[in-house]
A and B are shown apart, each in its own frame.
Chain A
Amino acid sequence: MRITVDTGRCVGAGQCVLNAPAVFDQDHDGVVEVHDPAAAAADPEAVALAATLCPSAAITVHRD
């Protein structure tokens, strides 16, 4: 599983940090960052939820 985030689209709602805190964080500007890509494998459901809830579709989960 690979995750890409589009920081240009991010509107800082924080849904990803709330639902998959092991994987996502917000930087100083409140913009999404993947702080531990390895953690995604441990909880793919949380990552999928974060992607679904993101209001600006800034998170893409690639299942390759």
Chain B
Amino acid sequence: MTSTGPRVVDFPLRRPGEAFPPPHYQDYRGERGLVVCHLPNGNRVWLVTRHEDVRAVLTDRRISSNPDHPGFPNISQTMGVPRQEQIPGWFVGLDSPEHDRFRKALIPEFTVRRVRELRPAVEQTVDRCIDGLLAAGTEADLVADFALPVPSLVISALLGVPPADRDFFESRTRTLVAIRSSTDQQRDTASRELLRYINRLVAIKQKWPGDDLISRLLATGAIDPREMSGVLMLLLIAGHETTANNIALGVVTLLAHPEWIGDPRVVEETLRFHSVADLVSLRVAVEDVEIAGQQVRAGEGIVALVAAANHDERAFACPHAFDPARTERHHVAFGYGVHQCLGQNLVRVEMEIAYRRLFERIPGLRLAVPAEELPYKYDGVLCGLHALPVRW
């Protein structure tokens, strides 16, 4: 490293149990906004930390999402889920225009209006989970018993998984997303069983279409039945642990700031403040491109750190304060550009209803362990909690 060159930092950037967002993000933003790290495989990867630059990277056509490009920063395993070559339809790894066919076919399922129609069903699901909590006693693990089941139940209903299969479907899904409590081999098996099940479900919906996402998607003719497994696995994974982490972290934050309980603006601020998907926006330059005044060469990997962007003091006043009343709304917790989270409006509704009903129905909710003993997790991709012991 020369005195004029970019700073080279260690990878991984943070470790389990460390404060989040990492305090050194502030230094990175302050210096040049762009730092370099070397992955264990020796690849050089650029970390983009300023809000303005993250948005620019995620909308630049010279920058690709395709993991098949050499130099793509494969810092995150896809949690046992196979990649493009084994699973067609995994369209987050495609660029425009190939990507757009999938996105356009799915958009009608996640419009603001469509998600509004789903509200009663989400509320029913949340209430049923709270019924379960209350019936079981006066303490619970809110991650296992609430934050994970809510999105899991919502997704299986959305996809049209028949009620008789939901236990199977949810147990496999949970094995897949529960990083600590399941082994690699268990996740592998769960992933294969889920893929097989999804393929069978698609075949059934082809023969006997119903009023569900799979049937409607097949009816558009835009997605080949063979690509459906990738599309559906993606919806399953993308909408699951991220939502669960937001629900759990939001509850912890509300317990620390009870003055905000009942305020719907908590949803947007929780998304920004925790930025659970900090390491999800991975890219590779396919042409030489200038970012934050630095020359990034074709073939070099880029990580757009959304938590760093969402705590950028250039974009947010007092970014480290949890302030649902803040007026800046341009966080990039869902990413930016053509890959911005498709299910974001559903996530918002799930979070809003989960917080509201939980504190309405269990007003005496409190942590069962000191806040500093909460098992925060950082699995290399997402931030969240392994468990959230509460009592009431």
User: Is A26 engaged at the interface, CB distance under 8 Å to the other chain?
Assistant: yes
Q: Are A55 and B338 in contact (CB under 8 A)?
A: yes
User: Is A41 engaged at the interface, CB distance under 8 Å to the other chain?
Assistant: no
Chain B 319-352 per-residue mask, 1 if CB under 8 angstroms from chain A, else 0? 0000000000110001111101110110000000
Which residues from A are CB-within-8-Å of B337? 55-56
Which residues from A are CB-within-8-Å of B334? 13
**B373 → chain A closest CB, angstroms:** 37
Which residues from B are CB-within-8-Å of A12? 103-104, 107-108, 110-111, 342
Chain B 96-110 per-residue mask, 1 if CB under 8 angstroms from chain A, else 0? 000000011001101
Q: Are B113 and A29 in contact (CB under 8 A)?
A: no
Q: Are B108 and A28 in contact (CB under 8 A)?
A: yes
Compute how far the CA of A14 lies from the CA of B347 in the bound complex, rounded to whole angstroms.
13
**Total interface residues on B, using CB and 8 Å?**
24
Chain A 38-56 per-residue mask, 1 if CB under 8 angstroms from chain B, else 0? 0000000000010011011
Q: Are A14 and B104 in contact (CB under 8 A)?
A: no
**Total interface residues on A, using CB and 8 Å?**
19
User: Is A1 engaged at the interface, CB distance under 8 Å to the other chain?
Assistant: no
Give the nearest-CB partner of B331 in chain A. Answer: A53
Q: Are A26 and B338 in contact (CB under 8 A)?
A: no
Compute how far the CA of A18 lies from the CA of B264 in the bound complex, rounded to whole angstroms.
14
CB-contact partner of B345 in A18, A28, A31, A56, under 8 A: A18
Give the nearest-CB partner of A18 in chain B. Answer: B112
CB-contact partner of A11 in B108, B114, B329, B340, under 8 A: B340
Compute how far the CA of A28 lies from the CA of B108 in the bound complex, rounded to whole angstroms.
7
Q: Are A26 and B329 in contact (CB under 8 A)?
A: no
Q: Are A17 and B112 in contact (CB under 8 A)?
A: yes
Give the nearest-CB partner of A10 in chain B. Answer: B107
Which residues from B are CB-within-8-Å of A19? 329
Which residues from A are CB-within-8-Å of B330? 52-53
Which residues from B are CB-within-8-Å of A13? 334, 340-342, 344
Give the nearest-CB partner of B59 in chain A. Answer: A57
Compute how far the CA of A62 lies from the CA of B118 in the bound complex, rounded to whole angstroms.
35
Q: Are A11 and B111 in contact (CB under 8 A)?
A: no
Which residues from B are CB-within-8-Å of A11? 103, 107, 338, 340
Chain A 14-26 per-residue mask, 1 if CB under 8 angstroms from chain B, else 0? 1001110100001
Compute how far the CA of A56 lies from the CA of B108 in the bound complex, rounded to whole angstroms.
17
Which residues from A are CB-within-8-Å of B112? 14, 17-18, 21, 26
**B366 → chain A closest CB, angstroms:** 33
Compute how far the CA of A31 lies from the CA of B108 in the bound complex, rounded to whole angstroms.
8
CB-contact partner of B110 in A14, A28, A31, A49, under 8 A: A14
Compute how far the CA of A57 lies from the CA of B56 in the bound complex, rounded to whole angstroms.
11
Give the nearest-CB partner of A16 in chain B. Answer: B112
Q: Are B107 and A29 in contact (CB under 8 A)?
A: yes
Give the nearest-CB partner of B340 in chain A. Answer: A55
**B4 → chain A closest CB, angstroms:** 33
Q: Are A56 and B111 in contact (CB under 8 A)?
A: no
Compute how far the CA of A15 lies from the CA of B266 in the bound complex, rounded to whole angstroms.
17
Compute how far the CA of A29 lies from the CA of B340 in the bound complex, rounded to whole angstroms.
17
Give the nearest-CB partner of A55 in chain B. Answer: B340
Which residues from A are CB-within-8-Å of B340? 11, 13, 55-56
> What are 20 A-B contacts with C-beta separation under 8 Å?
A11-B107, A12-B107, A12-B110, A12-B342, A13-B334, A13-B340, A14-B112, A14-B345, A21-B112, A29-B107, A29-B108, A30-B108, A30-B110, A31-B107, A53-B329, A53-B330, A55-B336, A56-B338, A56-B340, A57-B59
Across chains A and B, which 3 residue pairs bring their CB atoms closest together, nearest first?
A30-B107, A12-B107, A55-B340
Q: A30-B111, A55-B335 are in contact. List 19 more A-B contacts (CB 8 A).
A: A11-B107, A11-B338, A12-B111, A17-B112, A17-B113, A18-B112, A19-B329, A26-B107, A26-B112, A28-B108, A29-B104, A29-B107, A30-B107, A30-B110, A30-B114, A53-B330, A56-B337, A56-B340, A57-B59
